[in-house]
Structure 1
Amino acid sequence: MGERADTAFNTTGSKWLLPVSEILGFPLDQVNFLACQLFALAAAFWFRLYLSPSHANPLVRHAVATLLGIAFLIFCFGWSTWSYLLVLYLSPEHLNCLFVHSSTYRYSMVTAMGYLTVCQVSRVFIFNYGILSTDFSGPLMIVTQKITTLAFQLHDGKAEERMPSLIEYLSYNLNFLSILVGPCTNYKDYTDFIEGQHISRRLRQHSGTCNGQNGYDKTPDPSPLSAVCKKLLICCGCMLFFLTVTRSLPITYNVDPHFVSQTPFLTRLTYAFFSIQAARPKFYFAWTLADAVNNAAGYGFLGMDENGKPSWDLMCNLNILGIETATSFKTFIDNWNIRTGIWLKTVCYDRAPRHRLPLTFVLSALWHGVYPGYYFTFITAIPITMAARTVRKSVRHYFLASRALKLSYDILTWAATQLAICYTVMPFLLLAVEPTLIYYRSMYFHVHIISILAAIALHHKHKPREPSATTKTFSPSPFSSSCSAQCQPVHSNNNDKVD
């Protein structure tokens, strides 16, 4: 018991909250993470009210955001913070002379991803933090996205004409609003926020004019308070669900020897379904809280919605309703970890000359880490995506003749999608090879077999079209920009979009 407790409460970061960790029974790294995010929420309100662009110049705002972000890293990860400083040697200040060459953005991609992989290998095989710990590689994944996003935008001419200064570069990558859990956003959006142009520019875009004569420049900025409160309520609901339901449906029970050998297939399938459903709220909690933190600072304004009310969903990283009601594999992916989807589309799918889908899934696996379960998940997703695409094209039109047929089709495809997602992401949570194979054998590899046969049988009828790299919304890819209206920018300068 003592050895297990030592492992559970181990961290390279601060141990000030160890008593709280022991009382609550949560690992210390998770307690530190939550404490920093709650402090970030309070600091974000202060940042918006007392360090607004009218009270402080951009240099001060950049410096404060950076210092707070570094403080969070030191508190959560201690000496591991050096890893962020080392990867930031990729600063455009060092690469300024190279950006005149067209291949430099590829250099940034290879170097950042290579360094991330080295750190993830060291975490898993050297430091052995254990399964699903909140460790230094998580924020490093976000920094990797930001470094490569900026490099690609500079190459594409979508960032500012000048190279960012060192403080701007550090602030974009290490600011306290997104350092721990993201999301990754456009560099130009972030600098607009720091300089006080974020809301006014989007209001002008909403009005369809940029001449400054629409009155938006003279009106007070809309308050994010209601949006923040709504998102915090969602966080509370997710936390309550986690404490009452998630803990009672452990993922590892899916590979328990007695359960696998003595339980009927339909019972195992049912438990797998509900255990995966129960595992989602912890992700909902983390991403929604991060969204609320950014909104509290005044960042994340999307524009005015169809009802003329301000929308604060620019930083939206998921659409819970879209996830839970998804009737296709693509729709699920479109609404899950949205900002990472944008990044994958930008740096891989739109640029790969061929084999876009498998390359993008492999990049996603590599970005997530080196656990074999990640590769099982994303490689399995390839034939499932292809099969779902071909089945939809071949079958769906037969069910559009009446509302009843359409409803029956939606119910059937919802069930098939949710079960396929359950089957696909189980290795992502089991992580290791042996439990993954135990699970797939207990499921008789049925989704693999069905999806491969369907993709082969129907492929000749509907060959997928290769989308244009300049097209914003591309139906054949799961890494699509067709997010729900809740999350989709109305007038975005993003290369949106694209786990």
Structure 2
Amino acid sequence: MTVSLSVCLSLSLCLSVSLPACLSVSQVNFVVCQLCALLSAFWFRLFLHPSRTRPVVRHVVATLLGLYFALFCFGWYALHFLVQSGLTYGIMILTGVEHMHKYCLLVALGYLSFCQITRVYVFDYGMYSADFTGPMMVITQKITSLAFEIHDGMARKEEHLTPGQKILAIRRMPSLLEYFSYSCNFMGILAGPTCSYNDYIAFIEGGACRHRDLEPHRKANGKLRQSEPSPNTEVVRKVFTCFLSLMVFLSVCKVFPVERNVDDDFIANTPLYAQVVYLYLSMLTTRPKYYFVWTMADAINNAAGFGFNGYNSDGSPRWDLISNLRILDIEFATSFKVFLDNWNIQTAHWLKRVCYERCPYNPTAATFILSAMWHGAYPGYYLTFLTGIIITLAARAVRHNVRPYFLGSPAHKLLYDIITWAATQIAVCYTVVPFVLLSVGPSLKFYRSVETTGRRRHEDTRLISVVLTSQSIKSLQADAQSALHKNSTTDTRGNSLLPHTHTHTHTHKFKNTEETLSSTHHCEVRKHQREDNR
């Protein structure tokens, strides 16, 4: 422990000096702890392998290392992790399995919300660093998932379970050591991701690889499969992805600030297309930090031997059991659903298992509300998820009614994909801006600016159409008058072939039309000027 402490302190000092101001001290400590956790994960897999180490030893070491890293990062605030976990375990033991999953959800989410509200409104509003409620969010997912899985395995009949619930159901109550190892292990205590209890126990006991090598033949495409594939290649790839993500974030974190989207001068003096492009770029540059955090967490679990998910068709091992995102699928998503399905994947699984599949009324709205409560006390979170409900329902309707018309040919399908990609990215940016701005005032100002800009462009279009229509009517009037003058000849009796009153009537109608259009034109100009002045 002394060696680990000195390593952590040395790395923290070096990184705090070398990294730019984009990262705070607490965030530097977080990066240092994750790097130390990565090294510890290799040691854990090589020297405490389940083939020569009892599960109880692996449980103890994983738990102690997790609490040590938590203390280094968050100090005595890490005690909240033990309090939250202890409260819910007491509920599991003391209450019946019929309703304990509901009590655990209420207590865990309530304690998390209490800590989030205290941190935001008592200590430091807007402190967007590595705060102690981040790990509590992951612990909340784990202990509530465990409660629901115990309820499914011990209180419900198997025929009433879905296929997914049957796989995850737990048939016995975990011991206290198993419980704390699952919720506070060093691989996932800082940044997750969450995982099922059965998968974690299989990893600790050494049955994860055997459990997922289900094919009768261990040979694919001429390559002999190993009984336990090495994660080293996958870990190197993910660490390289983390390095690129961190470099990109540090390079552009100050170039495209999200706050500029609500700057008065920017809104007033920037064309609409430039505002949309800047909105996309500003939100794009916020994503690399999430790519770094979640990919590093995935690499740590893989380095420890956790995350094996069977084999690909070419015989290569898959290490995506608890992966939290797919970067390319996010950046090239052609629908709102595809974006959400590949972003924060394990949280989406948790929301689906504890809320969406079990809520009897309007599960979509209930899931978004639960997600907002879980994320924290900032009002911007609730604006984001309320907007997300509308965007999700609208995207479903568009996909259901419009997409079939573009499936006739590859060219039409390509055109549809391009249009929906652009629409998806804009919709995601529009939805997520309050999530980044956090406060109500700037978020509503952003929404108003989008509405005002769109209305102004609409008025410009109407003004142009009125002017063009007015010019067209004047041209038609001149042509008609010329035709009337040409055809107004007399018959042999000296009577005009075209009565004078008829000509006067047409001329009067044209005059009325011209006066109406002229009045409309002036009204549009005055309205447009008022909008510009405002």
1:399 to 1:447, Cα distance in 2 relative to 1, 3 A: farther
Alpha carbons 1:328, 1:417 under 8 Å: kept: yes
For 1:82, the equivalent position in structure 2 comes to 79
2: distance between equivalents of 1:234 and 1:16? 21
1:47 to 2:44 alignment: yes
Residue from 30, 33, 42 that aligns with 1:33:
30
Residue from 434, 439, 444 that aligns with 1:432:
439
2: distance between equivalents of 1:303 and 1:260? 51
Residue correspondence of structure 1 range 147-296 to structure 2 within 5 A: 147-157=143-153, 158-203=168-213, 205-207=214-216, 220-296=227-303
Alpha carbons 2:88, 2:107 under 8 Å: kept: no
The normalised TM-score by structure 1 is 0.82
Alpha carbons 1:399, 1:409 under 8 Å: kept: yes
In the TM superposition, what is the alpha-carbon distance from 1:220 to its structure 2 partner?
Answer: 4.1
Secondary structure of 2:451's counterpart equals coil
Residue type of the alignment partner of 2:61 = V
In the TM superposition, what is the alpha-carbon distance from 1:231 to its structure 2 partner?
Answer: 0.7
For 1:343, the equivalent position in structure 2 comes to 350
In the TM superposition, what is the alpha-carbon distance from 1:251 to its structure 2 partner?
Answer: 1.2
1:127 to 2:101 alignment: no
Alpha carbons 1:159, 1:187 under 8 Å: kept: no
In the TM superposition, what is the alpha-carbon distance from 1:269 to its structure 2 partner?
Answer: 1.5
In the TM superposition, what is the alpha-carbon distance from 1:97 to its structure 2 partner?
Answer: 4.0
Larger radius of gyration between Structure 1 and Structure 2: 2
1: distance between equivalents of 2:217 and 2:432? 43
Aligned residue pairs, count = 426
Residue from 398, 410, 415 that aligns with 1:408:
415
Please identify, of 127-136 and 415-424, the stretch whose mean Cα deviation from structure 2 is larger: 127-136
The normalised TM-score by structure 2 is 0.77
Alpha carbons 2:356, 2:363 under 8 Å: kept: yes
Alpha carbons 2:257, 2:282 under 8 Å: kept: yes
Structure 1: any 5+ residue segments left out of the alignment?
A: 1-12, 210-217, 449-499
Structure 2: any 5+ residue segments left out of the alignment?
A: 1-7, 154-167, 219-224, 456-534
Residue type of the alignment partner of 1:275 = S
Residue from 379, 393, 397 that aligns with 1:390:
397
Cα deviations by residue, 1:214-262 (Å, 9 ceiling, x for unpaired): xxxx954110001101111111111121122333111112122321232
1: distance between equivalents of 2:385 and 2:246? 28
Residue type of the alignment partner of 2:325 = L
1: distance between equivalents of 2:340 and 2:118? 30
For 1:481, the equivalent position in structure 2 comes to none
Alpha carbons 1:227, 1:312 under 8 Å: kept: yes
Cα deviations by residue, 1:149-186 (Å, 9 ceiling, x for unpaired): 00000011144422111110000000000001101100
Secondary structure of 1:444's counterpart equals helix
Cα deviations by residue, 1:194-215 (Å, 9 ceiling, x for unpaired): 0111111111x34499xxxxxx
In the TM superposition, what is the alpha-carbon distance from 1:92 to its structure 2 partner?
Answer: 3.5
Cα deviations by residue, 1:55-91 (Å, 9 ceiling, x for unpaired): 2111110000000100111001101112111111234
For 2:368, the equivalent position in structure 1 comes to 361
In the TM superposition, what is the alpha-carbon distance from 1:95 to its structure 2 partner?
Answer: 2.5
Residue from 15, 21, 46 that aligns with 2:16:
21
For 2:314, the equivalent position in structure 1 comes to 307
2: distance between equivalents of 1:82 and 1:225? 34
Alpha carbons 2:150, 2:170 under 8 Å: kept: yes
Residue from 93, 105, 112 that aligns with 2:108:
112
Alpha carbons 1:91, 1:169 under 8 Å: kept: no
Secondary structure of 1:99's counterpart equals coil
1: distance between equivalents of 2:96 and 2:454? 46
1:18 to 1:259, Cα distance in 2 relative to 1, 3 A: farther
In the TM superposition, what is the alpha-carbon distance from 1:14 to its structure 2 partner?
Answer: 8.3
Please identify, of 277-286 and 141-150, the stretch whose mean Cα deviation from structure 2 is larger: 277-286
Residue type of the alignment partner of 2:120 = V
Alpha carbons 2:355, 2:367 under 8 Å: kept: yes
Cα RMSD between the aligned structures?
2.1
Of the two structures, which has the highest relative contact order with CA contacts closer than 8 Å and spacing of 6 or more? Answer: 1
Residue type of the alignment partner of 2:62 = A
1:91 to 1:384, Cα distance in 2 relative to 1, 3 A: closer
2: distance between equivalents of 1:76 and 1:264? 45
2: distance between equivalents of 1:40 and 1:230? 17
Residue from 297, 321, 329 that aligns with 1:322:
329
Cα deviations by residue, 1:305-344 (Å, 9 ceiling, x for unpaired): 1111111110111111111111111111001000000000
2: distance between equivalents of 1:283 and 1:238? 9
Residue type of the alignment partner of 2:207 = Q
Residue from 377, 388, 392 that aligns with 1:370:
377
Alpha carbons 2:210, 2:227 under 8 Å: kept: no
